Chains A and B, each alone.
Chain A
Amino acid sequence: MDAEHVREQLRRAAADLPAGAPDPRAAVARRVRRRRMTASAAVTVAVLAAVVAAGLVVRSATEDTRVDFVDTPAASPTTTPQPSCTTAPPPHDADGRRVAVYLPCPAGDTIARVDRWIPDPSPAARVRAVLDGPTTLERRAGRAPLFDGPAAGLLTDVVIDDGIARVTMNDSVDGLSSALRDADDLVDAVAATLFTAHDEVERVTLAIDDGTGFCDTVGRPAGCATVDRTRWARRPAGWRPAPAVAPDPLGTFGGVAPTGPVHVADVHVSTSGFGAGTVDGVGVTSQGPRWRIDLGGIAAFVADHPLDDAALVAPQYGEVVALAAADGARRWTHDVDDDQAPGAPAVAGATVYLPASFPIEGDRRPPTVTALDAATGRARWTTPLRDGTELQWAPPTVTEDLVLVADTPDVTRGSSQLHALDRATGAHVWTFTFATGEQGFHLHQPLVHEGTVFAVSDGDLHALALGSGTLRWTQPVSQVHGVLPGRVVVEVDGALTTLDVATGYASPAG
């Protein structure tokens, strides 16, 4: 069979296939609209930010916002359990509903956040919303937000009747899409808020009636979603939604990079987003902040591990500053280039590892990683990385020997790279290039477990050898939730599963 013959056969086979779904044009248009909404939200953010820093480029958050529950720091900040990263937690508690998830260890030996509560891991209870038929909702305009919680600012009215909550959302579609990437996140955040605030609520029905068909725009056939409480583990006594991952009204970092609070002695230091741009030091017992520092509307990262008795704050533009927890006084500052934007810093031992990029469009100067003395702010080394790239928003991952940081090339070309630098000298140890087809947007902090680096790029989880950066395996995984002995906990199409660290297989090896 020669090539010409194959060609002819293929043409015939293609022609014989049944017709496709009706109106593909409309289906494609829906997809385009969905993305456009995210883009227009980014424009809103950009306008606000431009007021405070002319010429800056605002990157839109592209990561999922998640609703987590963590031990409430207000209750017992000094006794919050901080097990070692190497402690092997049981995957489930007695009733099989709780998974202890270990987040990356920026400090080398402690965990930033401890347990994460997730829904019952049985197949009947997926992480994502289970959609019901169309629902309707009466709008009661002009009511103030009624609830605390991650989605509080988005709720304008809630009617609870017979265990069913009917929710009206804020009108601003741009704000919604920016704060919460799609309807799944929205539903999860709203449901978690209501389940947390009202024990009697067993089901949340969500519809957004703003006249523009928001639900349809974000990919819903019509109406919106219903969520039952059974999708969420019950909130344990004394727990509340983690403020660290509550979506900023403008989706500042999309939950990707830390904005606090970090707990220093009896003070919690956190930052707000664009527009507000303040750093607050909140005392455990006081209602309001003990001190507040105005960043002039610029959003900031807060290192999720404290420096002795200070918190490290890296505004998106301007100098990095170590603030005394007690009174907000400046311990030291580190200035970066005028056009340079600090990223989220990592604190490990007596050293701060600070990524910084040149985000202004057309500025191709290489981003840098700088090691600073945590006590004085004095620079120990600075390593430039690739021209024309920006570094990940999440802080670098620091291991015993290495600093791991990923870059993102200009969106029009190239792949992301993961760089491993020598922790003591800043020298390049290895580089891994992600084989992404389009563009590698790499925002997550790489996670290290059992000699393996786990990094998600463009929808694929890569497992690399920590010592060499050699690729061990890849799997199409959208999110990594943590690790267990010999396993990595991942989310695939909204379902949780675990993969073997050595092989990447979902079922146990052999």
Chain B
Amino acid sequence: MEDDYDAFFSSSFDPVRRALVLMFADVAVAEDATQEAFARAYRRWSRVSGMDDPTAWVYVVAVNVARRAVRRRRLLAWRDDEPRSAGDVAGAVVASVTVHALLADLTERQRTAVVLRYLADLPYARIAEALGCAEATARVTVHQALRRLRATSTETHDGR
């Protein structure tokens, strides 16, 4: 079992982490969510390893963990409270990255959908699970994201 998981970890961890960074534009969130997803996979490896595509399972779990982390942070940012003290800010240092220009115009949801579809090669059923929506909605989201990307790319070319 250990060997099996080890091979899975070696081949999948970094691709999942990188995909999460592209989706959430946040290195810390991506790292944390990916680690958590792989820890959960380990704990139930007997079941996960028997799945058609364990990596897809890990993607879904990691996206769910990351989405929740991002929502929590937004919720705290809304607090009708005193500004955070310096210590809090230091404790919550978030290593953000600039989203790749290609994805900059998409919403976080669209980015998640398009990365899961075209980088992770997930089927729509899995994308729907990760987004917490119906499969049809996942298709529409990917479609909208593609259309948006086409428009952006055209504008860029026109602008030159």
Contact = CB atoms under 8 A, between A and B. Distances in A.
A17 interface: yes
Given A123-B84, A459-B68, A20 B43 contact: no
Interface string B57-74: 000110010001001100
B72 A476 contact: yes
B79 A14 contact: no
Interface in A301-343: none
A27 to B, nearest CB: 5
Given A13-B103, A35-B39, A122-B82, A492 B18 contact: no
Contacts of A79: none
B56 interface: no
Given A32-B42, A437-B60, A497-B76, A17 B21 contact: yes
A81 B129 CA distance: 48
Given A20-B31, A506-B75, A6 B64 contact: no
B17 A20 contact: yes
B72 A14 contact: no
15 contacts: A1-B150, A14-B22, A20-B27, A21-B31, A24-B38, A31-B39, A122-B82, A123-B81, A437-B129, A437-B132, A438-B40, A460-B68, A475-B71, A495-B76, A497-B76
Given A28-B38, A508-B80, A35 B43 contact: yes
A227 B132 CA distance: 39
Of B9, B80, B82, most A-chain CB atoms within 10 Å: B80
The 6 closest A-B pairs by CB, nearest first: A31-B39, A13-B100, A506-B78, A14-B18, A10-B119, A437-B64
Contacts of A493: 72, 76
B68 A476 contact: yes
Contacts of A36: 43
* Size bin of chain B's contact surface: 35 or more
Nearest to B14: A20
A412 interface: yes
A31 B36 contact: yes
Interface string A369-381: 0000000000000
Contact of A32 (B43, B78, B85): B43
A122 B88 CA distance: 12
A493 B74 CA distance: 12
Given A3-B118, A32-B42, A438-B61, A505 B78 contact: yes
Given A1-B150, A10-B22, A21-B31, A32 B118 contact: no
Given A17-B22, A28-B42, A3 B85 contact: no
Contacts, number: 119
Nearest to A35: B43
Interface in A160-194: none
Nearest to A459: B68
A1 B15 contact: no
B132 to A, nearest CB: 6
Contact of B119 (A11, A476, A505): A11
B102 A412 contact: no
A16 interface: yes
Nearest to A27: B35
Contacts of A477: 75
A215 B119 CA distance: 39
A479 B85 CA distance: 24
A27 B35 CA distance: 7
B60 A7 contact: no
Nearest to A121: B81
A78 interface: no
B22 A13 contact: yes
A75 B128 CA distance: 57
Nearest to A126: B88
